[in-house]
Structure 1
Amino acid sequence: MPWFVKIERGIVDKGTFDQHVPAHRAYVRSLIAAGHQARTGYWAERGGGMLLFQADSRKAAEEIVARDPLVQHQCVQYELHEWCIVEAPD
């Protein structure tokens, strides 16, 4: 399964953003349970973050991102990229 990365930048105030973080984290846990190998986090300097996950296709990845509560509540602007791994453990 290909890897995808959503690189995001917050576009709302911290209070509004923080309201949707619990739902975002629950969504990521549901992706992990469904086998998408999802990982999420934020940049140490604040203001943005990243979601790394596997999906069957670009279309499936776009659908996954569209269901993210941070996207649904217009808390972030994002870019979606397919990540082509060059080196990985055996």
Structure 2
Amino acid sequence: MKLFAVLLPLKDKELSQTHRPEHLQFLEEQRNKGNVAANGKFTDGSGGLVIYRMPDKEAVEELVLNDPFVKHGARHYHIHEWEMVSGEWE
């Protein structure tokens, strides 16, 4: 499996607030299936990031297009294959 960073920049603040519960439920379902490694919002309110664990970019895009944020026009999306390097946390 490969890792993909999906940036979800804000497109429509009102739609984001409306569809946030559905988006979080979608992410939880994907996490339970092993497809989401991590996710979170940007503290400046500009959007968020999801790290997907999938075989290829096409599979990631298929999921992203079903994310309620994207499906309802609340967020744009950008997909990048990502090679994670991890260090020590204090």
TM class, shorter-length: 0.7 to 0.9
Are the equivalent residues in 1 in contact too, given 2:20–2:69 (CA < 8 A)? yes
2:5 maps to 5
Q: Which amino acid aligns with 1:49?
A: G
1:34 maps to 33
In 2: Cα distance, 1:38 partner to 1:16 partner:
25
Cα distance, 1:86 vs structure 2: 4.3
Q: Which amino acid aligns with 2:28?
A: R
Please list every run of 5 or more consecutive structure 1 residues that lacks an aligned counterpart in the other structure: none
1:18 maps to 17
Cα distance, 1:87 vs structure 2: 5.2
Are the equivalent residues in 2 in contact too, given 1:28–1:38 (CA < 8 A)? no
1:57 maps to 56
Could you tell me the TM-score, scaled by structure 1's length? 0.86
Could you tell me the TM-score, scaled by structure 2's length? 0.86
